[in-house]
Amino acid sequence: MPQDPQRWSIRARSTGAREVSVYARNHVFKAGAATSLHEKDDAPSGLELLLGAFAAELIHSLRAQASHRRVTVHEAEASLFAELHHPLVQLGVIGERGDAGLSAVGGTVYVSADGPEAALDEAWAETLQRSVFHQTLRKTAAVSLRLERSP
pLDDT at 19: 86
Nearest to 109 by CA among 121, 95, 93: 121
Question: d(Cα 35, Cα 85) in Å, to the nearest integer?
Answer: 13
pLDDT at 81: 98
Write out pLDDT tens, residues 56-84.
999 999 999 999 999 999 999 999 999 99
pLDDT at 90: 86
Question: d(Cα 90, Cα 96) in Å, to the nearest integer?
Answer: 9
pLDDT at 88: 87
Burial of 28 (0-12, 13-18, 19+ CB in 10 A): exposed
pLDDT at 26: 96
Q: How would DSSP label each residue in 108-130? A: EEEEEEES-HHHHHHHHHHHHHH
Domains of the chain from N-terminus onward: 46-150 (3.30.300.20)
- Residues of the chain where predicted confidence (pLDDT) is lower than 70: 1-4
Which residues are within 8 A (CB) of 134 and not within 5 positions of it... i.e. 6 or more apart?
Answer: 54, 58, 128, 143, 145
- Give the length of the chain: 151
pLDDT at 3: 64
pLDDT at 36: 87
Q: How would DSSP label each residue in 26-86? A: TEEEEE--S---SS--SS--HHHHHHHHHHHHHHHHHHHHHHHTT-EEEEEEEEEEEEES-
